[in-house]
Chain A
Amino acid sequence: MSTKTDKIDRLAELTAQTETSTGHSLAYEAFRRLRASKMAVIGACIIAVFVVLAVLGPWIAPYSPTAQAWRGEVLPAQSVFVGPRGENWLGLDHLGRDEFSRMLVGARQTLLVGVVSTLLGFTVGCLIGVGAGAAATLGGRLGRRIDTVVMRFIDMLLALPSLLLAVSVAAVLGQSLTTVMIAVGVVQIPIFARLLRGAMLAQGGSDYVLASQALGVRKRRIVLGHIVPNSLSPVIVQATLSLATAIIEAAALSYLGLGNPDAAVPEWGVMLAQAQRFFDAAPMLAVYPSVGIIITALGFTLLGEAMREALDPKLRS
């Protein structure tokens, strides 16, 4: 018998030498796949540029976003709009403010709304999702009942059109930037909760959860150490995609006049709403913020989609 084990040992040693001795985790391999994906690289570049501009915006903007070019001067009404020119790259808006500077400073607001609202939706949604998922998988009969009640409530939220829900929340809380963040965040809660709970349910039925139970591992450790980490990848993908949606929805809320009432702080959605009035005379003023919103949303979507592919368990070698 010992000769057999010796042989097996030798074989194992031989095969071990050809492979790397330290293993690669799934997360590392997913990251490698992500790096090789063109979509991910383009998305990440767009996001990086956007983030840099949003952070540095106020310092690199050539003018103050509120400085008006012709303050105190009297001008004929027709010639109010000045197109792109040497000192104003994107021209001036209807009040004679530098559009380029406003775009740069506005990026920060857009990023802030997107990140904070998604973070809010992600955190609250995941807490609800983990609770419901844990109750449903390991909570026994009572847990399944709790899960049913919570999920029916989440379904109710999910059934409401997201913009309507956001508008209602904003209407209740009053007009401010915080309102927009909360409103957009609340809309995301049911999505994250449902997604995480569903993924946890799928993982809860898997053999390794049964194996952990058989080992005598405590339930809390099974949920937090096994089920949740394995259920997170769809949620992370959703969070990236949600950033895009959040930016668009925040812009929509601002456009509808529910955003920051302080006109001095530029925000892409507000800029778009204001440009609408002068669309005949200066259509480009509507185009700049729209393109900004579209490109940023595209960046997050590209990265999100690439992550979805990189994290797909079916692609594991």
Chain B
Amino acid sequence: MSLLNLDGVKVHFPLKKGVLFDRTVGHVYAVDGVTLAVEAGRTYGLVGESGCGKTTLGRAVLRLVDITDGSVVLDGTDLASLPDEEMRKMRRRVQMVFQDPLGSLDPRQNIESLLSEGMAAHGIGADREERRTRIKEILAKVGLPANALSRYPHEFSGGQRQRIGIARALVLEPDVIICDEPVSALDVSIQAQVINLLEELQESMGLTYLVIAHDLAVVRHISDVIGVMYLGSLVEEAPSDSLYAEPLHPYTKALMSAVPIPDPVVEDTRERILLTGDLPSPASPPAGCRFHTRCPWKQETKCDTERPELRDLGGGHKVACHYAAEIAAGTVRRTAGEAIEPVAATEAAV
């Protein structure tokens, strides 16, 4: 049993209408049946484009949004069915680092107050002095000066603020930290620092991460296992190396081919897949495979009628595509989608 198990998690937001009394007119299927497991001491990376439900899934683990269906089991306890007060206590064990480092810190609190709040809520540390000692330890760990205690969030730089956010999660000594786009609001140079910090902390404190990001390079660098989300569900899940070496799902292939390669020769000769159309509305997801409206390998049968389940194609490489094996073997041809000819080939023709 893994440390954190999500089974069939669904988060549906009701769409309301009405002036005085709300009437439900439909649902946004933000997360629609996600099953995944995060091993203790490991990092699970969750990627997907904007609006695919990855942030909502992260919040669902902490019950910051209501879980419609499914279970979130942390170390044998199902968080989805816990009463509110029990859930509040469980939050000590699952912490979150937010995307916007400034927005997630109350501008009126100084750093000591920010960091001791969670400790006070969970009764960690007997008195102010004890908490302060503990906070100073954590500040040193995340690379912030000890005199930061009496200063306010707006007096720090972006990277420092994110360190404060990480420190705030760490003081509670959580088992799992959910990092929701931890570096996307930072400069590239600072991104590397924060990512390295997260890795160092994992090594020294044995932390377990669920990292949510849209940046494939970041996720690849930090993750042991990667899950690719599309429109509320996982389309592919594999160990990091295996996923990057051989993406099996057409959507993952398209995502990977959008990453530029820092080698002009390779960059010019490789084939890129451009997806057509937009992400369908999560309020009315397409029937069958969620991706069939944009899939370059869409087939006549099954794709638009039957929703593919995540199945293991060997080596822990799971994919939710009816034709994944055939596509990999090359027995199924591409039916749609613009393929951009390699530049080198075009030049040769001229």
Name A residues whose Cβ lies closer than 8 Å to a Cβ of B: 1, 4-5, 8-9, 12-13, 16, 19, 21-27, 148, 152, 206-208, 210-218, 221, 225-226, 229-230, 313, 316-317
Greatest chain B CB density within 10 A among A23, A215, A225 is at: A215
- Residue pairs across A and B with CB atoms within 8 Å: the count is 107
Q: Is B20 an interface residue (CB 8 A)?
A: yes
Mark contacts of B80-114 with chain A using CB atoms, 8 A cut-off: 1 yes-contact digit, 0 otherwise. Answer: 00000000111110011011100111111011000
Q: Is B231 an interface residue (CB 8 A)?
A: no
Query: Inside 8 A of B118's CB, which chain A residues have their CB?
Result: 215-217
Query: Inside 8 A of A214's CB, which chain B residues have their CB?
Result: 62, 64, 91, 95-96
Q: Is B147 an interface residue (CB 8 A)?
A: yes
Q: Bound state CA distance, A15 and B140, in angstroms?
A: 15
Q: Is B338 an interface residue (CB 8 A)?
A: no
Chain B interface, number of residues (Cβ within 8 angstroms): 45
Query: Inside 8 A of A16's CB, which chain B residues have their CB?
Result: 145, 147-148
Interchain CB contact under 8 A, A216 and B106: no
Interchain CB contact under 8 A, B96 and A211: yes
Residues of chain B from 50 to 71 with CB closer than 8 A to chain A in the complex: 59, 62, 64
Q: Bound state CA distance, A38 and B143, in angstroms?
A: 43
CB distance from A10 to the nearest CB of B (A): 10
Q: Bound state CA distance, A2 and B133, in angstroms?
A: 22
CB distance from B181 to the nearest CB of A (A): 12
- Please list 12 pairs of residues, one from A and one from B, whose beta carbons are closer than 8 Å in the complex, sorted by A's number: A1-B203, A26-B108, A206-B103, A207-B98, A207-B100, A211-B168, A214-B64, A214-B91, A216-B90, A218-B121, A221-B117, A230-B108
Q: Bound state CA distance, A22 and B100, in angstroms?
A: 24
Query: Inside 8 A of B196's CB, which chain A residues have their CB?
Result: 4
Interchain CB contact under 8 A, B152 and A24: yes
Greatest chain B CB density within 10 A among A8, A148, A213, A214 is at: A214
Q: Is B200 an interface residue (CB 8 A)?
A: yes
Q: Bound state CA distance, A23 and B109, in angstroms?
A: 11
Query: Inside 8 A of A208's CB, which chain B residues have their CB?
Result: 103-107
Find A216's partner among B20, B121, B165 (CB 8 Å cutoff): B121
Q: Bound state CA distance, A214 and B118, in angstroms?
A: 9
Q: Is B122 an interface residue (CB 8 A)?
A: yes
Q: Bound state CA distance, A118 and B155, in angstroms?
A: 36
Q: Bound state CA distance, A200 and B187, in angstroms?
A: 32
